[in-house]
Amino acid sequence: MATHASIELFFQEGTSDKVYTAAIVEDGGAYTVQVRWGRRGSTLNSGNKAVRVPLAQAQKTYDRLVAEKTSKGYQPITEEVKPAAVAPKEGEGSGSRVQGRRPKVGPAAQLLEPLDESELARFLDDDAVLAQQKLDGVRVLVTVGSPSVATNRDGQATSVPGAVLEGLSYLPDGTIVDGEVIGAAYWLFDVLAIGARDVRSLGYEARFRLLDEELAPGLEGDTRVLPVAVGSKAKRALAEQLRASHAEGVVFKQRKAPYESGRRSTQRKFKFVKSADVVVLSNAGNAYLMAVHDGGALFEVGKVFAGTTNESRRVLDARLGEGDRPVIEVRYLYATDDEQLYQPVFVRIRDDKPAEDCLRAQLRKTSRAVL
């Protein structure tokens, strides 16, 4: 194989210290775009974004990938520009050099860490944590003032329905609340400040009590507080109800943990994932195109790349190159309204199942209703 073009990029800022490489490789007159990515210094993931295509098509894919990465703050590694030994702090690294990046005008949100199935029972029984429904909305923090400012999870200004800000107008200036917007409703689940009083250092249970008892009585219209379940019995009942109702999942929060921006292990999420057997139609360049049978036709249900390995991709590409349409099992969060699989993850190749048995009827949607 001969390399036609290649580039190595890096991104450093805050907790991010990543590299990304791309190369156009020629083999027998056809060209493949090979990529590798991951945390700098660790074993990198690898894959193909185009497989045995004409040079013009490979070059177009390669140029698009480089443009996408540099637009997000990645920089080419050269003799003059190289990664630092330690990533610069937030606002001083690669990401801060992106032209047009929106400035932060509010606090960044505290984010949830995933919870494995093997850990679920322990969190349901642990009295040190509370439980809530995991919502499937838009994360919004609001700083009350004249005017009030709505920000996204990164602390950047965002737009929300006017009723959201109106429903908080009775609160003292400086109050900061955190929640999710679903339709026109704003569901609150945390508070960072009440007027000039910063309450982020309080534990979650104490903050929720302030939110539910001090702030909630004045909430109007579609601004509401998302309830919590306390104790093993209540948490198990909530989890069972959410699963039966096809909700997205359940959230666990440590009673005594403060509010800290970014991903923290004090707040965890467990998603009710589903599984499906699908037919792989092709390597679509950046992922594998999936389909299911619907009557006499194939119905496309999206693309999957997460969960694949170098070995599984080698097998899939070889099978596709022979004209086969392999069957694979994928896990996914839910099927969208137009029945595309949301957050699919490759599990395994299924040689024991015929493609004709991969039916559209197996797909399951998720309810966004708040219980």
Q: Using alpha carbons only, what angle is made at residue 52 by residues 50 and 56, rounded to the nearest 5 degrees? A: 70
- Could you tell me the two tokens for 102? 């929106």
- State residue 349's pLDDT score: 95
Establish if 93 belongs to a structural domain.
Answer: yes
Can you give the pLDDT at residue 71?
Answer: 84
Residue 104 lies inside a defined structural domain of this protein: no
Phi, psi torsion values for 308, nearest 5 degrees = -75, 155
pLDDT at position 98 = 61
Q: Which of 50, 68, 97 finishes a domain?
A: 97
Give, as one character, the DSSP assignment of residue 97: G
Any bridge partners for residue 277, and if so which? 329
- Count the neighbouring beta carbons within 10 Å of the beta carbon of residue 362: 14
310 domain-assigned: yes
How far is CA 288 from each of CA 201, 301, 308, rounded to the nearest angstrom? Answer: 46, 11, 10
Q: Is residue 228 part of a domain?
A: yes
Q: How far apart are CA 25 and CA 5, in angstroms?
A: 8
The reported pLDDT for the residue numbered 49 is 80
13: domain CATH number is 2.20.140.10
Are 10 and 91 part of one and the same domain? yes
Shared-domain flag, residues 267 and 314: no
Q: In terms of domains, do 267 and 278 share one?
A: no
Please tell me whether residues 279 and 267 are part of one structural domain.
Answer: no
257 shares its domain with 278: no
Half-sphere exposure of 80 (CA within 13 A, CB side): 0
Give the per-residue pLDDT at 360: 94
116 & 265 share domain: yes
Tell me what pLDDT residue 101 has.
Answer: 58
- The answer to whether residue 370 is domain-embedded is no
CA distance linking residue 242 with residue 69, whole number of Å: 38
Tell me the β-bridge partners of 268.
113, 252
Residue 344 lies in a domain: yes
Query: Residues 266, 284: one domain?
Result: no
Range of the domain at 194: 110-271
**Cα distances (angstroms) measured from residue 298 to each of 164, 275, 276, 345, 359:** 43, 19, 15, 20, 9
In a domain, 367, yes or no: no
Residue 85 sits in the same domain as residue 155: no
- For the domain that residue 320 is a member of, what is the CATH number? 2.40.50.140
Structural element, H or E, at residue 277: strand 274-283
d(CA 291, CA 278): 6
Residues 208, 65: Cα–Cα separation, whole Å: 44
| Tokens linked to 18 | 């990543």
- Per-residue b/e over 198-210, b at no fewer than 16 CB within 10 Å? ebbebbbbebbeb
Do residues 176 and 312 both lie within one domain?
Answer: no
Phi first, then psi, for residue 312 (nearest 5°) are -65, -35
Q: Are residues 195 and 278 in the same domain?
A: no
108 phi/psi in degrees, rounded to 5 = -75, 150
Residues of the chain with pLDDT under 70: 90-91, 95-102, 217-218, 220-221
Neighbouring residues of 324: CB distance < 8 A, sequence distance ≥ 6: none
Element (H, E) at 202: none
| Phi, psi angles (nearest 5°) of residue 135 | -85, 160
Residue 265, domain CATH: 3.30.470.30
CA distances from 35 to 23, 146, 286, 346 (A): 7, 49, 10, 19
Task: Decide which of 97, 127, 146 is a domain's last residue.
Answer: 97
One domain, residues 142 and 249? yes
Phi-psi region of 100 (alpha: psi -120 to 50; beta: other; left: phi over 0): left
Residue 259 shares a structural domain with residue 139: yes
331 within a domain of the structure (yes/no): yes
Total number of domains in the chain: 3
Q: Which of 252, 271, 290 is the last residue of a domain?
A: 271
User: Among 132, 369, 371, which Cα is nearest to 228's?
Assistant: 132
Q: How many C-beta atoms surround the C-beta of residue 113 within 10 A?
A: 12
SS3 category, 338: coil
| Tokens 């199942």, located at residue | 353
